[in-house]
Amino acid sequence: MSRAAGKASYDAIIAGAGIVGAACADEFSRRGMKVAVLDREIVGSGATAAGMGHIVVMDDSEAQFALTRYSQQLWQALKPELPDDVEYEQCGTVWVAADEEEMAEVGRKREYYAERRVPTEVLDAKSLKQLEPNLRDGMAGGLLVPEDAVLYPPCAARFLIERAQKRGAELRPGASVVQIGQGRVGLSDGSEIAAEIIVNATGTWAPELTPRIEIRKRKGHLLITDRYPGFLRHQLVELGYLKSAHSVGSDSVAFNVQPRRTGQILIGSSRQYGAEHKDVDHIMLERMLRRAVEYMPGLRPMSAVRAWTGFRAATPDKLPLIGPWPGDKSVYLAAGHEGLGITTSLGTARILADQITGSKTEIPIEPYLPSRTVKERVHA
């Protein structure tokens, strides 16, 4: 590649080969675009390597529901093509209600999903115990969402990139982008590459390349156990999770456990703003595990294999930024997916490709447009 960029070498350059950049590469190449994907590390090495891999429909807002449901269905459709190491399992989610107040939330959630044709099943205390015998006694019940799934995110990202490569996409690991705009991508070695479209898919790092966007790091801890086949059958999440996941003020933990195909149990999760260090915070980890043991006492004697942290890319309105950046017509954003980027990667790629190619989108795109965050400043 020459140091000075001339005519556009690619239809699109994607900065970031996490699951979002990988999904974009896959979708763009499927539509015949000539694509390059640049990552300063390797495929799936950012939040994608740290994430839990729960493919989940959420109902915090209509926009969140639309993107998660659309994406969950895209994952379902992709299932026959996913290689074994992606470990896609449609195990379903059980939202666990600890008391009658949370059972009322089960009813509300069921109704919301029923109105939008998402299958669910309300579980009373007895049927919950039958489905998940290792939950502690005395739970009020729960809501089973059988179309939710789990997968192993780094392998999913790798699969999407490799599929794009088979269609001619170019992957450049170790390529650190320092600047984007006006159809140019500047690299740390001083070279430049030209492209008509540049996608900023660098997750929590996105503001380094597009300085006016507001993305904060939200730290999370996870721990994986040794193998205990059969102990857990569904992804279990406490209904109180909604309170903690969506509170923006304080540090929080919630019971959130996932069965892995290996028989291991992935235990989450915590949320912290203002904690920028990658180290495991033992106080936070202990709080998280105490919560898990409160719900499943049988977890206490299990051996842990590893604990780690990762950072979610959080936007102020809890929705991702997907679409053209109003400050530069060559730049598009695909970032800010907070705790749902594994789920929503496929939907993100579809609606971004639709916008770029002028195609009709299957869900309304307005809630995700980056212009919503910068109107005043850009047009001032």
Ligand X SMILES: Cc1cc2nc3c(=O)[nH]c(=O)nc-3n(C[C@H](O)[C@H](O)[C@H](O)COP(=O)(O)OP(=O)(O)OC[C@H]3O[C@@H](n4cnc5c(N)ncnc54)[C@H](O)[C@@H]3O)c2cc1C
Nearer to ligand X, 98 or 150 (CB): 150
From residue 173 to residue 192, the character string flagging contacts with ligand X as x (rule: CB under 6 A) and all else as - is ---xx---------------
Of the candidate spans 36-44, 98-106, 135-143, 158-166, the one that interacts with ligand X by CB under 6 A turns out to be 36-44
Residue 341 in the binding site for ligand X (CB under 6 A): yes
- The nearer residue to ligand X, 21 or 326, going by C-beta atoms, is 21
Among 264, 272, 343, 373, binds ligand X (CB under 6 A): 343
259 binds ligand X (CB under 6 A): no
Q: Round to whole Å and give the CA distance between 98 and 192.
A: 56
Residue span binding ligand X (CB under 6 A) among the ranges 59-67, 120-128, 204-212, 280-288: 204-212
Q: Is residue 38 at the binding interface for ligand X, with CB under 6 A as the rule?
A: yes
For residue 338 the two structure tokens come to 């907070």
Strands (E), 208-283: 216-227, 235-238, 252-259, 264-273
Question: Which helix (DSSP H) or strand (DSSP E) does residue 128 occupy?
Answer: helix 125-131
Residue 70 interacting with ligand X (CB under 6 A): no
Of 140 and 285, the one with the shorter C-beta distance to ligand X is: 285
Give the containing element (helix H, strand E) for 195: strand 192-200
Question: Which residues does residue 184 pair with via DSSP β-bridges, in sequence order?
Answer: 181, 194
Tell the smallest beta-carbon distance from residue 13 to ligand X (Å): 10
Give the H or E element holding residue 282.
helix 282-295
Angle at 153 between CA 130 and CA 272, to 5 degrees: 80
- The reply to whether 284 sits near ligand X by the rule CB under 6 A is no
Residue 40 tokens, joined: 């300063």
The candidate with the shortest Cα–Cα distance to 350, out of 154, 75, 10, is 75
Could you say whether residue 253 binds ligand X (CB under 6 A)?
Answer: no
The residues, any chain, with a CB within 8 Å of residue 121's CB and separated by 6 or more, are 143, 144, 146
When asked if residue 203 is in the footprint of ligand X (CB under 6 A), the reply is yes
**Footprint of ligand X (CB under 6 A):** 15-21, 38-41, 45-48, 50-54, 176-177, 201-203, 205, 208-209, 220, 222, 269, 310-312, 335, 337, 339-343
